[in-house]
Structures are given as C-alpha cells and as structure tokens.
Structure 1
Amino acid sequence: MKHFYFFLVFILFNSCQYFDKQVPSEKELLQKELKAINWKEVDEYPSVVDCEKIDNKQQRQQCFFEILTRLIQEKLSSDTLSVLYPELDTIEVKVTIFPNATMQFEPQFPKDSVAYDRIKIDSILKTRLVDFPKVNPAIKRGIPVKTQFILPVILKVE
C-alpha cells in the first residue's frame, strides 16, 4: 500500500507539471508566424486575363511579363523618346502594381547618368503609359499586395 501512495503522489506531482506549461500568447504566435512567412515572394503573381488560363506559376508570371513588356514597347514605339534620344535603344521601367490594381511606371537610369532629361522622360512615360488592360494584383496569403519589378523595354527594334 505504501508503494501505491508513493506511485499516486508521483503521478500527481508529475502530472501537475503538464498544467504548469505556459500556453504561448497570441503575440508570440503571431511573431512566430510572421517570421515563417517569406515576404519577398508572393503566392500569385500579378496577371492579366490572357494569362489567367495558365496553371503553372512560372509560366503565368512569364506570360504576364511578356504581355506587359510588349504593351509598353507598343505605347512607346511611336513616341518622341527615339527622336529626343536616338542613342537610347532600351529603357528600364520600374513597374509598381498596387493592391487596387492601379499601376505606376518610373524610368530607371544609371546613377551616373546625366545625359537624359529625367523629368522629360518621366513625363513621356506618364503620358503614354495609360489605358492598360485590367491587371489583377499579386496575392499573398489571400490578400492583394503591392509588387514592384523592373522591366527592360526595347525602344528600337532593328
């Protein structure tokens, strides 16, 4: 009987340790989850209707970039950029797609570049790069998010 009481006390003492364990707080759980998320990647890339039927994530992304680059090239091909800057054959354009599906375009120049009038080129881009087809924003964990990327746009095709 003495062993039974010892065993019972042993079980009660050890089982109480299970109740002493602290349950992580909501804040701790949130911080752990936020650290586990890769914020540099999206679950779904931005897309246009023509690319929606593609199931493969990389192919859909490639389709979107090709269509967007082609549309930008078409809109800038008949523009004064080639007249103002005949030596400029390619321009890098920073594209921002906001969660509300609006887009913004900014020309990117080398840091040491002084040969181009940045304000004039930016103005041309803002004037010409309008009326794009509806773009679906990128998705991260079911929520539309802002994305940015730089596209090299060929201005002169020879």
Structure 2
Amino acid sequence: MKKTLFLIFLCSIFVSCEEFKTRKISSEEILVEETRDFNWHEVDQYPAFSECRSITEVEAAKSCFGNKVARYFYSRLEAKQPVVTEALDDTLYLYLKISEKGKPAIDSMEIDSLVIGQLPEIKSWLSQSVDSLPKIYPATKRGIPVKTTFRMPIVIKAE
C-alpha cells in the first residue's frame, strides 16, 4: 500500500512538473509588445519653464507651459506697437516645436491673409519671439527627452 501511494505521488510530481515549464520570450517579442501598448501621442511630462517644473499633474503642467508661452508672445507683440488701417479680430495658429534638447522652433503657421495684409511683419515678429524664449526643459516619455509640437492659438485684436 505504501509503495503504491509512493508511486502515485512520484507520478503526480513528474506530471505536474510539465505545468511549471516556462516559455522563453525573446527581446524582439518584448519590444513588439511594449511598442503596441505604448501611447505615442502622450508624454509623461510636458515641456516646462523653470517655474513650471515642480508641477506634477499633467494637465496643470500643460496649462502652465501654454499660458507662459502665450503671455510671452503677447508681450512681445504688444511691444511692437503695430499700426493697422482696419480693425482686426482674428486668431492665428502657431505650431511650436520643442526639440529633445528643449530648443523651440516654429514648425508652421496658419495666418489669415487679412492679418498678413494689415501686419506684414507678423511672421518675423513671431520668429523673433520664439528665438528669445527663456530656457525650456523638454518633454519626457519614460524619462527620455522627446520632441513635441503644440498648436498655439494667438488672438489678434487691433482697432
């Protein structure tokens, strides 16, 4: 009886060991699985100026960065004191690219022809404003600096 129980026990051990086999996963399979689950349109941390770096909540950090850039552009454009012959009330869109090193650049602009007609130097003013932005810390994804592009609306009102 004891021998029979012992044999049954040994057989069950050998059979159950099949259940504990591990499958080797190659690094390529891990990479494919990670990139499939990876959201390429979101960053973990938005670009930031020094006063916005301590903000950890994503939407608040994005808002801080956007507000600071907008205030900077408006102050630079206001300092130009442009003169117009017709009232303007329009929104232009600036696509601002921040590199992995934190270098800002204009990717493109959407400006109505009426605004360009009234303010022919608007493109150069915006370019000068971008070139003189204070130090920007780049966005990060999993701790790695990445480039980002933002669509910044700029409201132009002049009377």
Tell me what 2:110 maps to: 108
CA distance in 2 between counterparts of 1:120 and 1:152 reads 18
Give how far 1:61 is off.
1.9
* Greater alpha carbon shift after TM alignment, 57-66 vs 89-98: 57-66
Q: Which amino acid aligns with 1:7?
A: F
Tell me what 1:54 maps to: 55
Q: Which amino acid aligns with 1:10?
A: S
Tell me, yes or no, if the aligned pair for 1:75 and 1:129 is still in contact at 8 Å. Answer: no
User: Residues 12-91 of structure 1: matches in 2 within 5 Å?
Assistant: 12-19=14-21, 21-79=22-80, 83=84, 87=88, 89-91=90-92
Give how far 1:66 is off.
0.6
Tell me, yes or no, if the aligned pair for 1:139 and 1:145 is still in contact at 8 Å. Answer: yes
Give how far 1:48 is off.
0.5
Counterpart secondary structure, 2:131: coil
- Post-superposition CA distance 1:67-96 (Å, at most 9, x none): 101111222234487649864632111111
Tell me what 1:5 maps to: 7
Tell me, yes or no, if the aligned pair for 2:88 and 2:156 is still in contact at 8 Å. Answer: no
Inter-CA distance 12–137: structure 2 relative to 1 (3 Å threshold): same
Tell me, yes or no, if the aligned pair for 2:89 and 2:158 is still in contact at 8 Å. Answer: no
CA distance in 2 between counterparts of 1:95 and 1:67 reads 13
| TM-score, structure 2 normalization | 0.76
Inter-CA distance 156–87: structure 2 relative to 1 (3 Å threshold): closer
Q: Give the gaps of 5 or more residues in structure 2.
A: none
Q: Give the gaps of 5 or more residues in structure 1.
A: none
CA distance in 2 between counterparts of 1:84 and 1:71 reads 25
Inter-CA distance 128–86: structure 2 relative to 1 (3 Å threshold): farther
Give how far 1:33 is off.
2.0
Inter-CA distance 37–134: structure 2 relative to 1 (3 Å threshold): same
Tell me, yes or no, if the aligned pair for 2:88 and 2:158 is still in contact at 8 Å. Answer: no
Aligned residues: 154
Counterpart secondary structure, 1:136: coil
Tell me, yes or no, if the aligned pair for 1:77 and 1:155 is still in contact at 8 Å. Answer: no
